[in-house]
Amino acid sequence: MSWSNWSGSVRAPAAVQRPRTEDELAAIVQRARTVRPTGAGHSFMPLCASDDAIVSLEELEGELTVSADRTTARIPAGWSIKRLTAALWEHGLALANQGDVNPQSLAGAMATGTHGTGAGLGNLATFARGFRLIGADGGAKWCDATTEPDLFQAQRLSLGMFGIATEIECEVVPAFHLAERIEKRPWGEVRERYFDLVRDTRHVEFWFFPHADSVILKTLELCDPCDPPPSTTDMEETAFRRLLNVGAFIPQLVPTLQRLMMRTDMNGRRRGPAHAIFPSDRTIPFEEMEYEMPQAAGLETLDEVVGRIRKKRLPVSFPFEFRVVAPDDIWMSPMNAGPVAAISMHQYAKMPWRALFADAEAIFRAHGGRPHWAKRHTLTRDDVDALYPMAERYREVRRAADPAGKFLNPHLSELFS
């Protein structure tokens, strides 16, 4: 059976192989002409596509172990965020932050700099403390900040090019509970208060339908211990799905449908263990582009993109999502130049998205944005060099780890070979 990503926009002829042991994995790597590791296939760019071998670690043997001081855990790299956060909870531990869904593998999420929201919280790759890797020759090796530090630096945001991670040492924190609050607010008001909200709230984000005047504001704050919530999701998607299908059939109706959507009651409250509150169900397929903007330029950039969509009455049927992420020191992280405002642009997967994304991408780039590596972008090799001072060093480490390019595919070769 062939492979496809979550949204269905990337397909590959190779069947997915699921080794149960590191020896089986090493044999696959040794046999293959090229091999791409995959997690849950939640990336929109063709990162996992291969015409030879695709390998998933879902079934690889391994277990979670917690360090004596309880600040780190060794986690099988192919475990989903859902599985590992449930296992950590049994030990009274948690991840300090998560994105808005949890089927992704830990390795896949770190490999692309997946993030949640929170001014004081970095992306998931910043939690990495060490990696056990199966290299291009099939041999196993460990890297961390002191053992093979360059390999560790590159592997923190690796796009799966430096080896296949089988185990990850990850920073963890004591278990905590969260109270979620969702409110519809006028855009002008949220815009005005935004930097205060970012400063005063542990996790804040908003969704913005480009043709509507209100936004959906979501905050998460620490709260006292409580039971898991009755619902697994922040917002119900049934009404939205109906409107999307009408809009896909008659795109000119999209602006009106969005204003209608924003008239419905959206306010919501949930409380529960952090790992049950961070993720929500996202059951409607979409395509996504995301740019990480210098934080000070975020709102202005969003205004410009939304202004353009409104002016041309473009049928962008999903809301924008606007989050904040703390800076880091990872060579290829789009957050490595300072705090970012992460602006995600989505389009219903049943509707055209390329031209819409191209229009917005020019604005994101003009304001100094750098794309999320897993989401749609059109960077060239020259763009990568212009945006990332450490790009050539990253390529050197890649060449040393994999001289024959076994872990490359055409998309990655173009940018990093």
Ligand X SMILES: Cc1cc2nc3c(=O)[nH]c(=O)nc-3n(C[C@H](O)[C@H](O)[C@H](O)COP(=O)(O)OP(=O)(O)OC[C@H]3O[C@@H](n4cnc5c(N)ncnc54)[C@H](O)[C@@H]3O)c2cc1C
Contact status: 78 vs ligand X (CB under 6 A): yes
Binding ligand X (rule: CB under 6 A), the pick from 9, 72, 102, 105 is: 105
Q: Which is nearer to ligand X, 113 or 315 (CB)?
A: 113
Q: Report the side by side order of strands in the sheet with 286-294.
A: 268-273, 177-186, 214-223, 203-208, 320-325, 340-348, 286-294, 370-371
Non-local (6+) Cβ contacts of 144 within 8 A are 129, 130, 131, 152, 169
Contact status: 254 vs ligand X (CB under 6 A): no
Contact status: 48 vs ligand X (CB under 6 A): yes
Contact status: 203 vs ligand X (CB under 6 A): no
Contact status: 326 vs ligand X (CB under 6 A): no
Residue among 32, 15, 12, 33 at smallest CA distance from 24:
32
Separation between Cα atoms, residue 57 and residue 17, nearest integer Å = 9
Joined together, the tokens standing for residue 246 give 């009408």
Separation between Cα atoms, residue 218 and residue 207, nearest integer Å = 8
Binding ligand X (rule: CB under 6 A), the pick from 84, 94, 96, 107 is: 107
Q: Which is nearer to ligand X, 27 or 226 (CB)?
A: 27
Non-local (6+) Cβ contacts of 105 within 8 A are 39, 40, 57, 58, 77, 78, 79, 80, 81
Contact status: 274 vs ligand X (CB under 6 A): no
Binding ligand X (rule: CB under 6 A), the pick from 19, 99, 118, 272 is: 99
**Residues in contact with ligand X, shown as a per-residue x/- string from 142 to 181 under the rule CB under 6 A:** ----------------xxx---xx----------------
In this structure, how many other beta carbons lie within 10 angstroms of the beta carbon of residue 200?
A: 12
Contact status: 58 vs ligand X (CB under 6 A): no
Contact status: 43 vs ligand X (CB under 6 A): yes
Q: Which of residues 360-389 bind ligand X (CB under 6 A)?
A: 372, 374
Separation between Cα atoms, residue 287 and residue 6, nearest integer Å = 9
In the complex, what is the shortest distance from the CB of residue 282 to ligand X, in angstroms, rounded to a whole number? 4
The number of residues that bind ligand X (CB under 6 A) is 34
Size of the chain in residues = 417
In the complex, what is the shortest distance from the CB of residue 311 to ligand X, in angstroms, rounded to a whole number? 29
Separation between Cα atoms, residue 371 and residue 140, nearest integer Å = 32
- Which residues here bind ligand X, judged by CB under 6 A? 6, 36-43, 47-48, 57, 77-78, 99-101, 104-105, 107-109, 111-112, 114-115, 158-160, 164-165, 282, 372, 374
